[in-house]
Structure 1
Amino acid sequence: MDKITEKYQVAQAKYQEIGVDTEQVLAAIDQVKISMHCWQGDDVKGFMNPEGELTGGISVTGNYPGAARTPAELRQDLEKAYSLIPGQHKLNLHAIYLDTEETVDLDQIEPKHYQNWVEWAKELGLGLDFNPTFFSHPMLKDGFTLASADEEVRQFWIEHGKRARRVAAYFGQELGQTSVNNFWVPDGFKDNPIDRLAPRQRLMASLDEIFSEEFDKAYTLDAVESKLFGLGAESYTVGSHEFYMGYGLTRDKVICMDAGHFHPTEVISNKLSSLALFGNEMLLHVSRPVRWDSDHVVIMDDELMEIARELVRNDLLKRTHVGLDFFDATINRVAAWVIGTRNTQKALLKAMLEPIAQLKQLENDGDYTTRLAFVEELKDFPFADVWNYYCQSKGVPVGMDWLREVRQYEADVLVKR
């Protein structure tokens, strides 16, 4: 018997003492699909105008070598990342990542422009999620898209939103996995506005028009995402948390919670149980803000663990779509995917290894002493041995072994671009 299995069996016995069946936990974590975001691989440039300037609150720093320049290169990098991550997952595409020889603008996209992505996803057994792209485009004028007072601007973006929904429905039909289509717009003012109401009225009307076409929810789900502020919209964001909370609940849309889109003293973990009471499904963008929505690579910090605990303790995973959202050009981009995705899985696995029913009973009984003692002692349980065994059982590298593969891939592929 190898050492990883030996250590797992010791851990298994340890967890069994507190009523946790590690085999059931491993089966549960294997069912969780993480939607890994394509835009980490090329610094959010896409393939419509890859040399264009990032606008609309988007900023990427760093110049690490090896960014993907074509859809084929991006898929190659993604395949490498997936090979180092246990389980079967999804890919989250932005509209600007179309793969076509045609010259197409955002208000002209069709399913055929993403056919290569669908065929690739079929080969790998992946699902595809989608996002219309409301940034880095000449029709983002004076910081506005769907909430613009300019009818021509507004209609351009409405048409883009409609077409994006058809693409997402195509993904769902072709792949047999629901495609979550997430709407985020950067609209807002840099300085204090006089009228906060009219832009929100226009945004609401634009979204209503976009969502007027009905699609089978087995194929695609619409999600809406708020933000506190962004670059160029420091004083007023049209699509605030309150706006999208009201819009999503009244229009039966999935509400997206992004870990970086709130005040620095706010966390999304504390919002999930409330949202779960009123919404049917949730979308998470797991990210890491550093003082603001800076989209750092996900690490195993306190907030990630709290998000995982909320999802697991309250049995919300079956109602939650978990996606990642970060971009860092100061480090190896493939490594960033692997670190962020594996950390998200680790956090969920660690939460699943808690004796949740027992902890809830202690709380209900008012035995807060034992509850606290239990929670603290669990921090020292051999979670890592269960994780390593899971990785080995899924045929992916254990521990730091994955980094050696990334370094070799960098030498063989990335530095030659």
Structure 2
Amino acid sequence: MPIGFPSHGQDLSQMGRGPVNPKGLQYYNNLINELIAHGIQPHALLCNYDHPQALEDEYGGWISRKIVKDFTAYADVCFREFGDRVSHWTTVNEPNVFAIGGYDTGMAPPKRCSPPFVFNCSKGNSSSEPYLAAHHMLLAHASTARLYREKYQGEQLGLVGISLYIFQSIPLTNLTADVAANQRAQDFLTGWIADPLMFGDYPSTMKRNVGSRLPEFTNHESKLVKGSFDFIGLIHYNYLYVEDNSVSLKEKNRDFNRDMGVKLYYNLSAYEFEIRPRDLQQILENFKSAYGNPPIYIQENGQKTPRGSSLEDPSRVKYLHAYIGSVLDAIRNGSNTRGYFVWSLWDGLELLDGYESSYGLYYVDLDDPDLKRYPKLSAHWYSHFLKGRGVSLDGIIELEKNLSGVSKDASFSRMISM
């Protein structure tokens, strides 16, 4: 089960450095111990769109190289205090989307952007800050991985990785320009983070289009970042179409999207994502061929539906059945995929829609003071799947007629490991 430090719980340090907050340690020790007591293996995430406000005020957070040292010190505390029970660590959640949303469009924390790319921002520079932020996330990740390997891995035997948000991108047409644009989109959206991790440097397309606004790795940094992972976490929900827009490369004011020279067509607010399991299989097989088949965990995958919709959610069941089947197909074709997480166990606060949409297998009644939870049809199906009862990944979904007879208290907050 994935858990986040500190954005989903108590801050470990109220000021970003200095004495550790004992209430933060107690919170996570209690959480980790309860998970383990119930047979659940925790996978911990160190940073999910959040960092101490004091560091943001002092030096701008991720746009400053200073955060590398502070982040590594924070990770050191987590490894020391929780590493005897946590064996899987993800450093930064989807740094590619985090950098774009937080430092270019300003639609995500810390909401930094600049004209003409404003999304209700009070400060920022959309032309340069996304690249600075992502660069420092990579350096912080690499520094953290080196710390773990040198100080903790020998005794704790754990693993350190980083996650990427992955769209399946498709050329809008078969025209040569759109096919080339699709490759640029892949270089920017995926290669931006994956290439330094695998090869020690950014894609040549990014170097050419971004120029001096793209930070450079020193020889030492390149060696530090390259191979600085034991696994890669992939987050995938849907797809997008790519159209050539090379004319944007001639514009004076440029940001990440204009540097790509493409137009992207997708709808993040759409409900009931189209079921296209082949996309996930292709993504996994592309990673196998392009990046040497690294160990992979699917850290998020699931279907969004309107909040308050029926507990009968056959569309989510079909989605999960199809995508888990695609993971199995990829593994059969040689993908080094190690595990799969459903997003999410229960309906929660979503970054882009608040409480208006839901991904959970359990419905949470926000009008109930006790926030009572109710299992959806997908909860019962997934429980049956994990127990190997009447579910085939190779055939057509058949929801058992007696599914409604499953106990409403059935517990299945588990991860499936392939």
More helix by share: 1
TM-score, structure 1 as length reference = 0.47
**Which structure has the higher relative contact order (CA within 8 Å, separation 6+)?**
1
**TM-score where L is the length of structure 2:** 0.47
